[in-house]
A and B are shown apart, each in its own frame.
Chain A
Amino acid sequence: MAWAGKVLRVNLTAGTCASEPLNMQWARDYIGQRGLATKYFVEEVDAKVDPLSPDNKIIWATGPLTGTMASTGGRYSVITKGALTGAIACSNSGGYWGAELKMAGWDMIIFEGKSAKPVYLVIENDKAELLDAAFIWGKSVWETEPAIKAKHQEPQMRVSSIGRAGETGCLYAAVVNDLHRAAGRSGVGTVMGSKNLKAIAVRGTKGVGNIRDFKAFMAATTAAKKVLHDNAVTGQGLPMYGTQVLMNVINTMGALPTRNHRDVQFDGAKDISAEAMHEPRKTDGKKNLVTNQACFGCTIACGRISKIDETHFTVQNRPQYWGASGGLEYEAAWALGAANGVNDLEALTFANFICNEHGMDPISFGATVGAVMELYDMGVLTKEQLGIDARYGSAEALAYFAELTCKGEGFGKEIAQGSKRLTAKYGHPDLSMSVKGQEFPAYDSRGIQGMGLAYATSNRGACHLRGYTVASEVLGIPVKTDPLVTEGKAGLVKAFQDATAVFDSAGVCVFTTFAWTLADLQPQLAAACSDEFTMDELGKIGERVWNMEREFNNRAGFTHKDDNLPKRLTTEPAKTGPAKGLVNGLDKMLPEYYQLRGWDPQGRPTKETKARLGL
């Protein structure tokens, strides 16, 4: 229970929509969202499939807690084989769309095939149909959402769509809903675009009512909300500063990757920090930050709502960018800022707006620009090629590249391929700061050793959201570990990876884990779904999900050799800060990690491991 019990299967080639019952055995074995949709995906799709071919599928999936009063219970994920990585991709988004799909009576939507012409899907409760998208193809997310609502005379409709980046084949195009919430990483928007699918518009008025034990559910969710409220990070830090609370902290500890990871500290960090967003600007006396806002059901409310200075060079005479919209969170502020040496907060906010408007992952975009600026600095790329002077720190170059890249114009076409392909093309593959083709987020693994292992082994390529040992190594959650040592990190990474897989499958936000452990989530899931969801069972499900993803990647052709870091991080020591002189000690952690996982030295789950997990 708490599942809607229904899957919508859309065949884009044939133009058909069909309802089928949810596989309840799988729901009990994989919960929902990330776990359950990945199960459907790996059962139905050949791991060797070309991500952009019609044979790839793409799934929008909610969890059992999506659309309930559980705090942060509004999440959905997009699952496919990633265009950027060729690995399993699962990108998670908040906002209101996920809850709306659940309210319409669906757990997930599976898209297969490819439409001959651009279409969008409209769901009104049980009714679903594909319609001609000619009037929105070529439009941004910010144009698409109001256009669909107007056409259907339904202002309450929620839309999940791609912008120009997804249409023009940018390999890290995002799926965006509610104007600025995104399933951002790995190119899930690229796959959507490759299928000629522009948008999914949903109106759900059926609600979510089939909670197994309502009284127990209300008691459990109320207790869990109190835990969030009383915790310093989720109760004060995140609502006040958002994830940007980390900028100065991570810089001070010498783990803020700067100028394509040449440095680990950025002298401009304070200018682009949470604190700076709260400071009245010198130019107009107003603050960059307007307010914080929440996703559906969220009692944390980390979201940033910002306004750009109307006189800033990026938006002069462009009133469409003067309104309040989704502001900088930490990863974006880092990728658009420190990764390129840019310390202009307004320019970063503008680039972030562009990423939202046109559906592009700001992490991979910003990090790729970091690589471009390094190649420019080395003289490999020239002003003539790029169309602009692209020295480190240039806010003009950042803003210029953002607009070119999302539209696939000029040199933006090459930036849109991501740093792995771009640096290889210009003869310097070692300068791509990525794993499995996906760019790093905002933590330098020389200063936070565990993150090196988390990145190297992440099933969707370099990512902070698959095993966030920063919580332990920096913030002391649940226990403080020394960020500069490798001892004990293999077990730490595994524990974070498995627990995160459960949160991602439940329908709640991973940011709850700053305060919640599995023990806080378990009573909510058990009351909503089934008393089979015990602590033991959830632990096992997390591990099962992780191994299932791993097996897909192995079948897709990845090996232990791909559990690797760029040479820079394992051979060039950090130059400053507490980690000065250190490289990442991946080779010390990886064998132990394989062993703890029950994998052979080639990184393959053994027969015994698979049997133990029921795979």
Chain B
Amino acid sequence: MQKSLHINPDKCTGCLQCEMACSYEHHGSFNPSKSRIKVFDFHDAGRKVPYTCTQCAEAWCLQACPVDAIKLDLVTGAKVVMETVCVGCKVCTIACPFGTVNYVQDTGKVQKCDLCGGDPACATACPTGAITYIDADWTGLERMQQWAGKLDNQASA
């Protein structure tokens, strides 16, 4: 079974535990500036929205890379950057429609979410359930269920 990161911004409090977990996993320090998942603050609306790579089936980044540095992990479905191959040309950052491949000045390479090899640290760290790692076929299940519940209420009203 393939799994996906599933994000529900309504539950997010902006604690950044996910960003710290991600940066620790990949860089060995608590460092949100190096995180591959980013929590955006829409202050006036009172919303915090986590955002990261959704691992497109037909990945633009992977297609665009001139040196084939982005590889498909057959087990997790993640599109993974091979640091040793990446030449830091940033073409993938242009190709990705969502902006979730990012250049890292310190290393001169790009980085993106790799699903931590199948056990994403952000989902483990998130205290609110805003990030979960679930069966890829059912990423909308929770929302469907909510709406289904409303239908049921109306019927019995």
Contacts and interface: CB of A to CB of B under 8 A. Distances in A.
The yes or no verdict on A and B being binding partners is: yes
Interface of A: 67-69, 71, 96, 99, 103, 156, 179, 204-209, 225, 229, 239, 290-299, 301, 303, 305, 307, 323-325
B151 interface: no
Given A69-B21, A69-B125, A179-B43, A293 B31 contact: no
B15 A297 contact: yes
Contacts of B28: 209
Given A69-B24, A324-B45, A207 B15 contact: no
Contacts of B46: 290-291, 293, 305, 307, 324
A206 B29 CA distance: 8
Contact of B30 (A209, A323, A324): A209
A26 B40 CA distance: 38
Interface range for B:
20 to 34
B15 A294 contact: yes
Contacts of A324: 43-46
B23 interface: yes
B88 interface: no
A309 to B, nearest CB: 15
B48 interface: yes
B32 interface: yes
Interface string B25-36: 001111111100
Closest CB pairs A-B (n = 4): A207-B31, A209-B29, A324-B46, A323-B44
B30 A225 contact: no
Given A225-B127, A324-B45, A324-B46, A297 B31 contact: no
A221 to B, nearest CB: 10
Given A69-B24, A71-B127, A299-B15, 4 more contacts: A156-B33, A205-B33, A206-B29, A325-B44
Given A324-B44, A324-B45, A294 B31 contact: no
A205 B31 contact: yes
B52 interface: no
Nearest to A292: B13
B21 to A, nearest CB: 7
B125 A293 contact: no
B20 A103 contact: no
A99 B33 CA distance: 12
B5 interface: no
A597 B32 CA distance: 43
A296 B16 contact: yes
Interface in B97-148: 125, 127-128
Interface string B41-58: 001111110000000000
A239 B33 CA distance: 27
A293 to B, nearest CB: 5
Contact of B27 (A69, A207, A290, A303): A207
Contacts of A239: 13
A229 B128 CA distance: 10
27 contacts: A68-B20, A69-B17, A96-B16, A103-B33, A204-B33, A206-B29, A207-B30, A208-B30, A208-B31, A239-B13, A291-B47, A292-B13, A293-B14, A294-B13, A294-B14, A297-B15, A297-B16, A298-B15, A299-B15, A301-B15, A305-B46, A307-B46, A323-B43, A323-B45, A324-B45, A324-B46, A325-B43
A209 B125 contact: no
A531 to B, nearest CB: 21
A207 B33 contact: yes
A209 B24 CA distance: 8
A612 B57 CA distance: 67
Interface centre among B20, B29, B46 (most CB of A within 10 A): B46
B34 A207 contact: yes
B49 to A, nearest CB: 12
Given A294-B15, A297-B16, A207 B45 contact: no
B31 A209 contact: yes
A298 B15 CA distance: 5
A301 B29 CA distance: 24
Contacts of B128: 301
Contacts of B45: 323-324
A325 B44 CA distance: 7
B31 A103 contact: yes
A205 B29 contact: no
A204 B34 CA distance: 11
B120 to A, nearest CB: 15
A258 B47 CA distance: 35
Contacts of B31: 103, 205-209
A299 B17 contact: yes
A229 B24 contact: no
Contacts of A209: 28-31
Nearest to B20: A69
B119 to A, nearest CB: 14
A292 B48 CA distance: 10
Contacts of B23: 207
A231 to B, nearest CB: 13
Contacts of A205: 31, 33-34
A456 to B, nearest CB: 36
Nearest to B45: A324
A156 to B, nearest CB: 7
A204 B17 CA distance: 17
Contacts of A323: 43-45
Contacts of A206: 29, 31
A207 B29 contact: yes
Contacts of B16: 96, 99, 296-297
Nearest to B125: A69
Nearest to A206: B31
B8 to A, nearest CB: 13
Contacts of A179: 43
Contacts of A69: 17, 20-21, 24, 30, 125
A325 B45 CA distance: 9
Nearest to A218: B24
